[in-house]
């Protein structure tokens, strides 16, 4: 990776940072961000677990998780108290990166969880039972909703990272997301904050992308990573090869941007945060 090589080791956090990647708006780059930030961190000396909390299972697919009817997934962890350690699998070709996969059963979990005790804290409970001393990061890929799965993620994490697509309507729904973070913070997880905002699918050719980026930056200041991820065909191709773009085409503009974004995250203290 041209000089600033993969062999470079970034500082490890004192204890495992648990980060939910959330935005109830669909298709804004949550999964792409989770997968590629996780891969970039793992390629720079961090030990990383991706938790796929989306019934679509896109993060699991992008990380090459093979699944069949028998696969134990994060569903079994939430609903049947299965240990995360038992279902997390190593990601092919990227040492120190693990994935707790999603299966389609998870689609029913929003409803099944309703009748369970401490339904908002099932994932937190699973993390508590898991010795995270051998991990530096847990990244949780949330589904595009503010339902019980996303609430479970927010109760189980310390930080929320919000990807924002540099498109029209990008900011729509953001207020609702931030209010939800506030609610979870005041009732269920006092340690929660929005630590990071990442601008995704930035298109330098359009004035709109620049306008959205400017607006987000003026509103959220230092929460917004300096790096913005450009729209890049290689980024969108990578999942169909069951890969992150970090391994599929490490020299592409998208991979370079995710590398820089991950570097910022690794070098950042947990920051002031909002929420």
What letter would DSSP give residue 199? Answer: E
Minimum Å distance from CB 49 to ligand ATP?
Answer: 18
Residue 50 in contact with residue 57, Cβ under 8 Å?
no
- Could you tell me the end-to-end alpha-carbon distance of the chain, in angstroms, rounded to an integer? 37
Nearest residue to 78 via CA among 45, 114, 48: 114
- Work out whether 243 is an interface residue with Mg ion (CB under 5 A): no
What letter would DSSP give residue 50? Answer: E
Report residue 67 as tokens: 């699944």
Question: What residues between 56 and 75 interact with ligand ATP by CB under 6 A?
Answer: 56, 58
- Please choose, out of 22-30, 45-53, 81-89, 121-129, the segment that lies near ligand ATP by the rule CB under 6 A: 22-30
Query: How crowded is residue 189: how many other Cβ atoms within 10 Å of its Cβ?
Result: 19
Task: Output the CA torsion sign for 240, 241, 246, 250.
Answer: negative
- Work out whether 147 is an interface residue with ligand ATP (CB under 6 A): no
Residue 254 contact, options ligand ATP, Mg ion, none, Cβ 5-8 Å cut-off depending on partner type = ligand ATP
Nearest residue to 124 via CA among 94, 81, 68, 63: 81
**C-beta of 29 vs 47, nearer to Mg ion:** 29
Out of 201, 223, 259, 265, the only residue in the binding site for ligand ATP (CB under 6 A) is 201
For residue 97, the SS3 value is strand
CA 37 to chain centre: 8
Residue 182 in contact with residue 192, Cβ under 8 Å?
no
- Please choose, out of 78-86, 116-124, 176-184, 226-234, the segment that lies near ligand ATP by the rule CB under 6 A: 226-234
Out of 17, 28, 29, 30, the only residue in the binding site for Mg ion (CB under 5 A) is 30
Question: What residues between 49 and 108 interact with Mg ion by CB under 5 A?
Answer: 58
- Work out whether 122 is an interface residue with ligand ATP (CB under 6 A): no
- Please choose, out of 74-82, 129-137, 191-199, 227-235, the segment that lies near ligand ATP by the rule CB under 6 A: 227-235
Out of 17, 19, 32, 78, the only residue in the binding site for ligand ATP (CB under 6 A) is 32
Q: What are phi and psi of 196, to 5 degrees?
A: -150, 135
- Please choose, out of 29-37, 153-161, 186-194, 217-225, the segment that lies near ligand ATP by the rule CB under 6 A: 29-37
State how far the Cα of 73 lies from the Cα of 99, in Å rounded to an integer: 10
- Work out whether 46 is an interface residue with ligand ATP (CB under 6 A): no
Q: Give Dmax (Cα) for the chain.
A: 54
- Please choose, out of 26-34, 188-196, 205-213, 242-250, the segment that lies near Mg ion by the rule CB under 5 A: 26-34
Q: Which residues lie near ligand ATP (CB under 6 A)?
A: 26-32, 54, 56, 58, 144, 200-201, 229, 231-232, 235-236, 254
Interacting residues with Mg ion (CB under 5 A): 30-31, 58
């Amino acid at each position: 990776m041209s000089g600033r090589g993969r062999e470079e080791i970034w500082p490890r956090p004192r204890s495992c940072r648990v980060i939910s990647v959330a935005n109830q708006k669909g298709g804004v780059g949550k999964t792409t961000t989770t997968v590629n930030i996780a891969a970039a961190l793992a390629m720079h000396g961090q030990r990383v677990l991706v938790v796929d909390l989306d019934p679509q299972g896109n993060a699991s697919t992008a990380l090459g998780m093979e699944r069949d009817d028998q696969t134990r997934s994060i569903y079994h962890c939430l609903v049947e108290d299965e240990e995360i350690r038992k279902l997390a699998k190593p990601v092919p070709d990227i040492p120190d990166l693990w994935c707790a996969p999603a299966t389609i059963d998870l689609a029913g979990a929003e409803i099944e969880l309703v009748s369970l005790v401490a339904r908002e804290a099932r994932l937190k409970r699973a993390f508590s039972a898991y010795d995270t001393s051998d991990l530096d990061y847990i990244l949780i890929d949330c589904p595009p909703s503010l339902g019980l799965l996303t609430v479970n993620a927010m109760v189980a994490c310390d930080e929320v990272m919000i990807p924002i697509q540099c498109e029209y309507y990008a900011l729509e729904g953001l207020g609702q997301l931030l209010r939800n973070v506030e609610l979870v913070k005041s009732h269920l997880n006092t340690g929660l904050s929005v630590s990071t905002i990442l601008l995704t699918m930035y298109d330098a050719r359009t004035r709109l992308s620049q306008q959205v980026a400017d607006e987000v930056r003026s509103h959220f200041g230092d929460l917004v990573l300096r790096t913005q991820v450009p729209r890049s065909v290689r980024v969108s191709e990578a999942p169909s090869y069951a890969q992150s773009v970090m391994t599929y085409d490490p020299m592409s503009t998208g991979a370079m941007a995710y590398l820089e974004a991950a570097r910022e995250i690794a070098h950042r203290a947990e920051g002031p945060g909002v929420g």
